Chains A and B, each alone.
Chain A
Amino acid sequence: MGMSLQQIVFGVLSIISIISALGVILSKNPVTSVLCLIVTFFTIAGHYIMLNAQFLAVVHIIVYAGAIMVLFLFVIMLMNLNAEIEPQKRSWLKYAGAISGGALFLVLLGALREADVTPIQPGATDIGLISNLGKTLFNQYVVPFEVSSILFLSAMVGAVVIGKREA
């Protein structure tokens, strides 16, 4: 059975994203974790493009890889963390965590393996274009949009108040 181009691209992106996600939780050095997470975010942006969410892909790269991960990297470098002073859990706790996560994985996999969903067509749709998303956002979701601006304002004030030296 031949694989379509879509499936090949999906497979390559998925393998890279899972390997780099494992790199986030397995690497000892926090800076390596951040770099692995950036790779994961880029592959997720690739998935968004394949799913006709072009605007979301661009916003994802700008917000996550551009802003959030730079913030993480900045904080890690500010604290001068490295692998030697990395706190380690007791090993049985680590195994318990890994087994719990794996059990959750198996349960979800078993529950959703037979899910009755329609397949994704290879053709393009225009729902992810910025004009359509903008119409949806400002016609149906104006109130959540305004509420999110209040959220941003309070987060900004909160970050400044918490981050002040003598709070």
Chain B
Amino acid sequence: MELLIKNGFVYDPINGVNGEKMDIATRDGKIVENVNESKALKIDASGMMVMPGGVDIHCHIAGSEVNTGRLLRPEDHFRDFERKTPKTRSGVGYSVPSTFTTGYRYARMGYTTIMNPSMPPLEAKHTHEELNDTPMLDKATYPLLGDWWFVLEYLKDGKIEECARYVAWMMTTTKGYAIKIVNPGGLEAWGSGRNVSSIDDQVPYFGTTSREIIRGLCKVNKLLNLPHTIHVHTNNLGKPGNYLTALDTMKCVEDLASGDKPAIHITHCQFCAFKGSDWRTIKSGAEEIAKYVNNHSHVTLDTGQVIFTDTTTMTADGPFQYGLHELSGNKWVNHDVETETSSGIVPFRYRRKSYVHAIQWSTGLELALLVRDPWKIFMTTDHPNGGPFIYYPRIIAWFMSRKARETTLKKINPRAESRSLLPSTDRELSFYEIAIMTRAGQANALGLKDKGHLGTGADADIAVYNINPETTDPSKKYRTVRRAFENAAYTIKGGKIVAKNGEILRHVKGATMWLDVQVSEPIKITEEMKRRFREYWTVEYENYPVTENYLEVSHPTTIKADV
């Protein structure tokens, strides 16, 4: 099938195209030089913006904790539901939407690729079942490896290569895409009711430290040549004064970076950019973090922007979630995933009039505006922790318009308003920079070669937004911008039009991307390993791996490792 998108203003930052008027042609799901104009299906995009399909580096949309979140929050679905149509299935929203609704809502906004960032390896099958049921999107998931006993044991003994073999095995076994580290060491400590408070604290029993875990896995990542860097949720998340921990975490892998290639991704950075000694004196540490990131090339960030709404927080960070429950008094779930990780869920409402929440809102935006290079910072809400992903267009409006920020600033807690750095920032991002922060940069950081750009050979995942960059001034007409990004004029997935002006036209299945990491000496599944499984896990080894036929549309990438 051929498709021709004519006369759009194309934003393709990876290929350096900045709003030039050109045609984009696709054939059989790939972007090609040209097509036979008389045969191809034509889309008239004159006066519209054409961008690569959106890429989301971090959003919790599938897996056991998301599903537990759904069970925990009937009142969340009650207010927001979608009826079935001849093309789509019914579903519910809001902060933890059902899988099909997740797919449709992303597609309406012009997103085509998303990353599910926390999968306990034990729950890999559940996660992949839900990802199979998330339509319209290509997706991948990151297994949580920072507190896996095997990793801790090998890192304790300094056996990096051995550790790398096990990580490679785990990546292929669970069909994962990147190494996710959550509160390194803290989750293991939480198993015995403790936590770690800095990156140099000892993990009980294993005697290793967070620093060693982060550095160890960073080296492993490099040995295995994984496309993404390590994806780190720092220690002390959500505590006043934790920007120092975030800086320590970035600094500790400084020497492991090679050239300009990033070595670490700090995720939902807003939650670890708090200055101050307690909740009353909390301030934004965005300036310090931005200063560090501006001067170093080995770090990428995503914002984790807070939206003033009712949402559901869910992370693998059990101790943090317990603290949040203590703080808010809301209902909660907490769970220890055997030898691997922990998790927690607490419903939460971000209020404009709350000093802390308003500071958090401001911090997220400050980070995005103060980090000068858009290739280093990406737009997320850490869905659903900062707010549901349906609010991305609102964040784009805040990024692009000082006026939009000021309108919201007027409504927030006055003390937070007076401490916010936003009034002193004049920066307003351009559509080109937005295209980097929402798609190109994210695809680049994830090492997705065929996503996030519109060059020949790329996947034909395209978003067309009904806004004319020549006649619209986003800093004044921020509402127009927001509306345009809420419902893409066309969303094209794999060369097919799947959504048009907010209406889903076609239900398509997306692929699950995973890494087939090939090491020279793969680990042998010995009797000893099976014994460990019997001793440590509640499942037998035979039931553990996710086989390839488990994935409905499997899209492996073969990686040649250095071990």
**Chains A and B bind each other:** no
Interface residues of B (CB under 8 A from A): none
Interface residues of A (CB under 8 A from B): none
